[in-house]
Each structure stands twice: as C-alpha cells, then as structure tokens.
C-alpha cells in the first residue's frame, strides 16, 4: 500500500534503473504536513479502519529527470486485524513480471506514532515505517529509510504521504531525500474503491 512508493522503486529496479528520481512538481511537499499526532489510540486505529476494502490504483513514476512517466496499474486489498491493525496486499504486473506486496500498519500508543512494515516480491529490503497524521486528519505521512535508487549500499530517507480525498478516493505521493537534503517526488498514485 503506502510503501507503494516502493512499488515504484520495485518497478524501477525491475526496469534496471539506476538514476536519481525526478523532481516532477514544484509542490513536492503538497501532501506532507507532519504535525503532532492525536494521542487517542482508538481514534487513530479508527482512521486506519476506513482504508479497509478493495481498491484499484493508477499511478505514475519517474525513472529519471526529464523522463516521461512510467504508468502503473494495480489492485489492493486491505483487511483489518482486530481493531488495531490493517494488512494491505497489492498485485500488479510490471513489464510481464508479477509483483506482490504486503504491508502491515497500526497505531502504537507507546511510540505515539503509526508503525508498520512493507515487503514485496521484487526486492529483499524490509521497510519499517513510522508516521503521523496532519492536523486535519486527512494525510498520513509515513517515513522510512532504505537503499537509494543509484547505489543500494547507500541508504536515504523516504516519505509516503497518503491523503484521504473522499471515502472512496485516496492519493499517494512518494518522495525521496537527495544527498543535498532536498526532497523529490518520484511517484504519484490515485486509488479508487471498487
């Protein structure tokens, strides 16, 4: 799901890309509004529950600066585990290669943050998330660290910002931090509830 930033990364890996991600918009932080999180664990767990269901996704990822975007389509099933967790499974096909991902996400009151993990079928990295909601409770920003696009032995920071547009529409924007400290958007995706 939200490490579908990683979906784009996996697509880039599958395509043999070793380029820096493109800064495709001047509003790379448009959906990144990290603020103090609501300390109410039940309220935060309920926020996650609204994501349960079947989704279709269309998105774009940029493999290199000034490159045409690569388009993607996938399906996602999100189910609840009790009242505290969700598990999201995504399926796609990239240039004839099947792609499968699993993400677990919940709210940990001891950490005061959303926490989660992501794995997928095209890479060996276990991505570990920590995230917060914005003040309007519309955007969940998940942060993680992982290999850079150009050199898998070097790590960098990533952000996935998931915005609830409506009960049946959510939008994901994924960004990576470059060596100079700037953030660039390398993927945008829209999800529609089936």
- In sequence order, the 6+-apart residues with CB closer than 8 A to the CB of 144 are 3, 118, 127, 128, 129, 130, 157, 158, 160
- Residue in the block written with tokens 């399926």: 91
pLDDT tens for each residue of 2-42: 443 444 444 333 333 333 344 434 343 343 333 344 568 88
pLDDT tens for each residue of 60-77: 988 776 788 888 899 999
* Domain carrying residue 100: 4-193
Contact 41, 178 (CB under 8 A): no
The pTM for the full model equals: 0.80
Higher pLDDT, 93 or 105: 105
Q: Specify the pLDDT at position 39.
A: 64
Give the residue-averaged pLDDT of 77-88. 96
Q: What is the CATH number of the domain that holds 12?
A: 2.40.128.20
Domain count, the chain: 1
pLDDT tens for each residue of 101-141: 999 999 999 999 999 999 999 889 999 999 999 999 999 99
């Amino acid at each position: 799901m939200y490490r579908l930033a990683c979906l784009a990364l996996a697509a880039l890996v599958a395509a043999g890309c070793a380029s820096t991600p493109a800064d495709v918009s001047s509003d790379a932080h448009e959906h990144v509004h990290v603020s103090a999180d609501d300390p109410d664990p039940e309220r935060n767990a309920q926020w996650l529950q609204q994501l349960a269901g079947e989704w279709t996704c269309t998105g774009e990822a940029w493999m290199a600066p000034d490159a045409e975007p690569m388009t993607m389509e996938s399906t996602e099933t999100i189910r609840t585990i009790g009242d505290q967790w969700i598990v999201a499974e995504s399926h796609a096909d990239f240039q004839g290669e099947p792609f499968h991902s699993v993400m677990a996400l919940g709210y940990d009151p001891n950490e005061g943050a959303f926490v989660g993990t992501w794995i997928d079928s095209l890479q060996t990295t276990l991505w570990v998330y920590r995230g917060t909601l914005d003040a309007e409770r519309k955007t969940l920003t998940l942060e993680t660290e992982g290999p850079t696009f150009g050199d898998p032995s070097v790590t960098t920071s990533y952000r996935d910002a998931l915005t609830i547009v409506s009960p049946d529409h959510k939008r994901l924007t994924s960004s990576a931090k470059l060596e100079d400290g700037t953030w660039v958007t390398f993927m945008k995706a829209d999800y529609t509830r089936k």
